[in-house]
Amino acid sequence: MPSRKLIGATFFCASLFSATAAFAGLGQPTPWQLGLQQSASPVMDDISWFNDFLLWIITAIVLFVLILLVYVMVRFNARANPVPSRTTHNTMIEVIWTIVPVLILVAIAVPSFRLLFYQLDVPKSDLTVKVTGKQWFWSYSYPDQKFEFDSLMVQDKDLKPDQPRLLAVDNEMVVPVNKVVKVLVTGSDVIHSFSVPSFGVKIDAVPGRLNETWFKAEREGTYYGQCSQLCGRDHAFMPIAVHVVSEQAYNAWIDEAKKKYAAGEPPPSVAAIENNLAKVVASANAR
Ligand SMILES: [Cu+2]
């Protein structure tokens, strides 16, 4: 009974969707996670919706083709149908199987393009953060506040109990909740990619080019991402951590960060550079 099969399959899909919501973590991956990470921004809401929408469409297509195949095998096998029909053309069916896929593709294309423009069209922003991918860490610059800092992965031996391994960093990028953050992304050496799944952000960091994207985090918390462009030896060890806080906490952080980073590190002395170079040469000779 195909109708009962269909109900069973629909039920299975529905339970898969609810399982996705249950398993997916906020801001970071979880063991045995199915589907995408939980959304924390309007763009990611739309990406999640589009993902589920496509899943329904492909599920319906797969079931339809499966039912047709089973029907053909049962109804038209040599035993059940010893004298086959000689039909080769049926205009009506040919028109349908041309038009229906076109309609399906249009139904997919419309929300797909809408989403693409939504992602790429940066709305009026409340603050700007410039992100630079380096081998192998990220630097965050707050041009309005005139400071910049590096963000390096926390090594396993220094990991605190509440920090996720390979994702936690020493200096997180901090942004206020419910504010549009414009992100300028570039690379300083090779191509990296700035990616935070919960915000629906993924954009290449290309040396000599400034890419831009945006997000609006709608919930406080820490959101993790990783470099998503193979960039060399420590590609897997340059995570991204974005701490979303209240407006007051953000302002307090800005005051503190200005003191901590504004002066920046003094440029290294010539002696220090020469010393460093000597070490590099010595280690190269030793090898
Ligand atoms: Cu990278």
Q: Are strands 127-134 and 180-187 parallel, antiparallel or unpaired?
A: parallel
Q: What b/e sequence results for 57-75 when a residue is b if at least 16 CB atoms lie within 10 Å of its CB, and e otherwise?
A: eeeeeebeeeeeeeeeeee
The pLDDT of residue 149: 94
Q: What pLDDT score was predicted for residue 279?
A: 72
Closest C-alpha to 97, from 63, 141, 135, 65: 65
Cα–ligand 1 centroid distance for 80 (angstroms): 61
Q: How far is the CA of 42 from the centre of ligand 1 (A)?
A: 26
Q: Measure the CA–CA gap between 18 and 40, rounded to whole angstroms.
A: 18
Indicate whether this model's pTM tops 0.75.
yes
> How many whole angstroms from 229 Cα to the centroid of ligand 1?
6
**b vs e for 88-98, b when ≥16 Cβ sit within 10 Å of the residue's Cβ?**
eeeeeeeeeee
Q: Per-residue pLDDT for 6 more than 70?
A: no
pLDDT tens sequence across 239-270: 999 999 999 999 999 999 998 886 655 455 56
Q: What is the pLDDT of residue 263?
A: 60
Q: Report how far ligand 1's centroid is from the alpha carbon of 136 (Å).
A: 6
Please write the tens of the pLDDT for every residue from 101-157.
999 999 999 999 999 999 989 999 999 999 999 999 999 999 998 899 999 999 999
Residue 186: which pLDDT band, with cuts at 50, 70 and 90?
very high
Distance 134 CA to ligand 1 centre (A): 7
Q: How far is the CA of 185 from the centre of ligand 1 (A)?
A: 12
Cβ contacts of 107 within 8 Å, gap of 6 or more: 57
Alpha-helical regions (H) of 39-150: 42-75, 91-120
Bridge partners of residue 85, in order along the sequence: none
CB of 132 within 8 A of CB of 209?
no
Q: Please give the distance, rounded to the nearest whole angstrom, from the Cα atom of residue 67 to the centre of ligand 1.
A: 46
**Burial (Cβ within 10 Å: 0-12, 13-18, ≥19) of residue 227:** buried
Q: Calculate the CA dihedral of residues 257, 262, 265, 270 and round it to 10 degrees.
A: 180
pLDDT, position 193? 97
Which residues, other chains included, contact 54 with Cβ-Cβ below 8 Å and sequence gap of 6+? 108
Find out whether the peptide bond into 49 is cis, omega within 30 degrees of 0.
no
Give me 99's structure tokens: 């038009």
